[in-house]
A and B are shown apart, each in its own frame.
Chain A
């Protein structure tokens, strides 16, 4: 099985309104409200990461972190930096931001997911398992956790798929299975 790793990204589009850029909303009875991204570099960084432009995404996310105006934005930036550095395969830096995020929010399942990926990539499988279990406890059924879990399983308990096409009668097949 191929060992190439790519990214599956769920973007943290930090507190922004719907859509790209500023949007004008009007009501029939009230004045116009103009809304827009509160942290454009953070949003652009997330988009860049989503597009696979890791270096650019990390650079913009650092800018976004500098001007973060809320705890939520800061946490978004930390999470995205962790993921971004994983994409760059700079696991030390990635770990730094995952740890920072977990210090602020010990129940952040995405941080556990990302850190588990770091542990898998650095072959620290016992630690990866711990983070996966914690993440699964916090967010049962999360798709990204399932993918990370599969990555762990493929590393620790690899399997080869086998397909058997059996044309024998069902009774005969059952007899053989016993």
Chain B
């Protein structure tokens, strides 16, 4: 159509570092509750969310769930999360985890329980200082 204002695609080539690669230096700790009769079988650790690491966001997410007699996880739900960014990795890790199956006739004190995932960023020594300092 004559006179039609044609949309112009304009953006500027902008250089940036790649999004942080999958961290290779992630540390993982599992604090087991020895006061109960539930024993973890397979504990899956969540990945530290890339954006959270990039933006230096720390926090935690607590997932409550039910363990069936075979040690499988059911009805995993977030009870609380300090930041929504931690909800998905916590839930995924929880659903991929298992507990030891019960023996014949064994009964758990309570099958509904919770696990908290804490996401921390520990400062490490910088490799080099500023060249203009």
Q: Given A18-B9, A79-B12, A155-B126 in contact, is the A161-B24 Cβ separation under 8 Å?
A: no
Residue on A nearest B9 in the bound complex, by CB: A13
Verify B2–A162 contact, CB threshold 8 A: no
Map CB proximity to A onto B96-133 as digits: 1 under 8 Å, 0 otherwise: 00000000000000000111111111111111111111
Q: Given A16-B9, A160-B121 in contact, is the A144-B16 Cβ separation under 8 Å?
A: yes
Verify B14–A125 contact, CB threshold 8 A: no
Pick from B11, B27, B35: contact of A11, CB below 8 A. Answer: B11
| Contact count A vs B, C-beta below 8 Å | 234
| Chain A residues with CB below 8 A from B53, complex form | 159, 161
| Chain A residues with CB below 8 A from B56, complex form | 153, 159
Verify B62–A163 contact, CB threshold 8 A: no
Instruction: Count contacts on A: residues with CB < 8 A to the other chain.
Output: 77
| Chain B residues with CB below 8 A from A14, complex form | 10
Verify B46–A163 contact, CB threshold 8 A: yes
A31 to B133 CA separation, bound complex (whole angstroms): 64
Is the C-beta of A1 less than 8 angstroms from some C-beta in chain B? yes
Pick from B13, B19, B31, B35: contact of A80, CB below 8 A. Answer: B13
Map CB proximity to A onto B30-41 as digits: 1 under 8 Å, 0 otherwise: 111101001010
Pick from A15, A122, A151: contact of B8, CB below 8 A. Answer: A15
Verify B20–A76 contact, CB threshold 8 A: no
Partner-B contacts on A (CB < 8 A): 1-2, 4-18, 25, 27, 29-31, 33, 35, 46, 49-50, 72, 75-76, 79-80, 82-84, 86-87, 108, 110, 113-114, 117, 120, 122-127, 143-148, 150-151, 153-170, 172-173
14 A-B pairs (CB sep. < 8 Å): A1-B23, A8-B14, A16-B8, A18-B6, A25-B6, A79-B12, A80-B13, A123-B131, A147-B19, A160-B23, A161-B26, A161-B119, A163-B27, A166-B116
Other contacts beyond A108-B12, A117-B15, A159-B56: 17, CB < 8 A: A1-B23, A1-B25, A4-B18, A6-B17, A7-B16, A8-B19, A16-B8, A31-B2, A150-B19, A154-B20, A159-B124, A160-B121, A161-B25, A163-B26, A163-B120, A166-B118, A170-B114
